[in-house]
Amino acid sequence: MRISELSRRSGVPVATIKYYLREGLLPKGEATSSTQAVYGETHLRRLRLVRALVEVADAPLAKVRAALEAIDDPDTDVHTLLGSAQHTFHPDVPEPGTDDPGVRDAEERTDALLAELGWRLIPHSPFKSELTRAIAAMGRLGRPVTDEMLRTYAAAARTVAEQDVRALDPAGSREDMVEYAVVVSAVMERALTALRLLAQEDASARLFDRGRCPEKRPPGTRE
Amino acid sequence: MRISELSRRSGVPVATIKYYLREGLLPKGEATSSTQAVYGETHLRRLRLVRALVEVADAPLAKVRAALEAIDDPDTDVHTLLGSAQHTFHPDVPEPGTDDPGVRDAEERTDALLAELGWRLIPHSPFKSELTRAIAAMGRLGRPVTDEMLRTYAAAARTVAEQDVRALDPAGSREDMVEYAVVVSAVMERALTALRLLAQEDASARLFDRGRCPEKRPPGTRE
């Protein structure tokens, strides 16, 4: 297909495709003249992935290149690929320092929670540090997180993550799987945040606004 | 107490307290001389709330003032207070335009989901628009969200939100409740995001890395 059709089928403007070609994020097409080239399905797949990494995950070009190299390296298995894709759209934050006793405590609680859950994780995940940071922040703000709260959050996160992974097509190409992982992680994170705030509004309405329709208050909204 | 003790007990630096006093976010203390004043428990509560709104929720000063006015107005009930507190830390984004058929479809799906859930919500919640926007983005990226996925996310969000509201102390002051709502919404959102990414890593490890410990793969990770 010509670049115009590649643009139509991918939804990516021609000027953006040319930019990706110049940056080496998309391999050149097969030249049919000095000014024209044709592209195939592999270009379309790669283009969709690059767009997901650049536009949805807002990843810097160096990280996009590293993700593409991993895909093109047949020695990299799919699980490792998916993991490195997740890390492309998270800023490199240093692990929290341990001179603060609040952070040390939070780190111990994170480790204890993850050990209890038995999750199989890489040793120095940035998301583990992020969890530690949130637990430490709650303590610093005088609102220490209870174990019950952490367990409830972890169970909800697991339900959602299993749904995410279940929707992955194991027969798809490597690009397709990585693109799916990036898109669903980034975009559905916004959906989950919005749904939580909506559900908080509903839970608060049922707790405080009992006069209006008391029969609708389900058990468990108060202790 | 003197301003130094107010600083120590709240964890807010003296210079920041003076800034809040100048901006009228914290009422003046009782003057004991021309340069000194004493502060009470009401100042401490108000200070913790202002810090949560400014530092944790990153709310602009105009929204902080509006939240404080609502707290001081005895006609504003707690449910309304909590709702307006949530809105302080979300940017005012316009409702998505409906000239795009993808957005119209997403809007219908959002409405259908929330009707099915029976949640009690204000009519034009910004979080509803945010959910619509995420559903539309998935469609535009060629990864339409299934009803199953939306229901799973909503159920997880509800579990977490009920935990959030359960931890609220209904005997607390209005400031305490609003401060709690802001802190838990903002900080635990980061915890939930981190836990979801960790849980995705675990789910992917169980799906793709079966050779290592096949007995650990629970049912339901593949279809």
Name which of A72-76, A207-211, B17-21, B70-74 the model is least confident about.
Answer: A207-211
Question: In sequence order, what are the residues at sequence separation of 6 or more whose Cβ sits closer than 8 angstroms to the Cβ of residue A195?
Answer: B127, B131, B153, B154, B157, B158
Work out the minimum CA distance from A202 to partner chain B, whole angstroms.
5
Mean pLDDT of chain B: 86
Q: Identify the pLDDT of residue B119.
A: 95
pLDDT over threshold 70, residue B217: no
User: b/e per residue, A13-35, with b = 16+ CB within 10 A?
Assistant: eeebbeebbeeebbeebeeeeee
Work out the minimum CA distance from B11 to partner chain A, whole angstroms.
8
pLDDT over threshold 80, residue A213: no
Residues B29 and B39: beta-carbon distance below 8 Å: yes
Q: Identify the pLDDT of residue B211.
A: 43
Helical spans, DSSP H, in chain B:
3-10, 14-22, 41-51, 61-72, 78-88, 101-117, 126-140, 147-166, 174-208
pLDDT over threshold 90, residue A80: no
Rg of the Cα trace of chain A? 23
- Tell me how far apart the alpha carbons of residues A104 and A98 are, in angstroms, rounded to a whole number: 5
Name which of A108-122, B26-40, B90-104, B154-168 the model is least confident about.
Answer: B90-104
Q: Do B56 and A141 touch (CB under 8 A)?
A: yes
On the 0-12 / 13-18 / 19+ scale of CB atoms within 10 A, A3 is middle
Residues B89 and B186: beta-carbon distance below 8 Å: yes
Question: In sequence order, what are the residues at sequence separation of 6 or more whose Cβ sits closer than 8 angstroms to the Cβ of residue A74?
Answer: none
pLDDT over threshold 80, residue B178: yes
Q: Identify the pLDDT of residue B62.
A: 85
Chain A residues in contact with B133 (beta carbon < 8 A): 190
Element housing A51 (H / E):
helix A41-51
**Among A201, A45, A125, residue whose Cα is nearest residue B195:** A125
Mean pLDDT of B1-19: 93
* Residues linked to residue A37 through DSSP beta bridges, in sequence order: A31
Work out the minimum CA distance from B28 to partner chain A, whole angstroms.
23
Q: How many CB pairs under 8 A join A and B?
A: 294
Q: Which tokens go with B84?
A: 């307006």
What DSSP string describes A175-223? HHHHHHHHHHHHHHHHHHHHHHHHHHHHHHHHHH-TTT-GGG--TTS--
Identify the residue with better confidence: B102 or B158.
Answer: B158
Q: Do B165 and A122 touch (CB under 8 A)?
A: no
Work out the minimum CA distance from A132 to partner chain B, whole angstroms.
8
Identify the residue with better confidence: B217 or B38.
Answer: B38
**Taken in order B157, B160, B164, B165, is the CA torsion positive or negative?**
positive
Mean pLDDT of A37-49: 91
List the single best residue of B109, B198, B223 to mutate versus A (max A Cβ within 10 A). B198
Confidence of residue A93 (pLDDT cuts 50, 70, 90): low
Interface predicted TM-score (ipTM) = 0.83
Q: Domain limits of chain A?
A: 3-73
- B148 vs A123, A158, A199, CA distance in Å? 32, 15, 18
Residue of B90, B181, B221 lying closest to A162 (CB–CB): B221
Phi first, then psi, for residue A114 (nearest 5°) are -70, -35
Chain A residues in contact with B168 (beta carbon < 8 A): 207
Residues B165 and B184: beta-carbon distance below 8 Å: no
pLDDT over threshold 70, residue B219: no
Chain B residues in contact with A137 (beta carbon < 8 A): 56, 187, 190
Q: Identify the pLDDT of residue A167.
A: 87
- The CATH number that domain A3-73 falls under is 1.10.1660.10
Chain A residues in contact with B204 (beta carbon < 8 A): 79, 82-83, 165
Q: Do A130 and B187 touch (CB under 8 A)?
A: no
Confidence of residue A89 (pLDDT cuts 50, 70, 90): low
DSSP3 helix / strand / coil % (chain A, rounded to 5): 65, 0, 35
pLDDT tens by residue, A7-28: 999 889 999 999 999 999 999 9
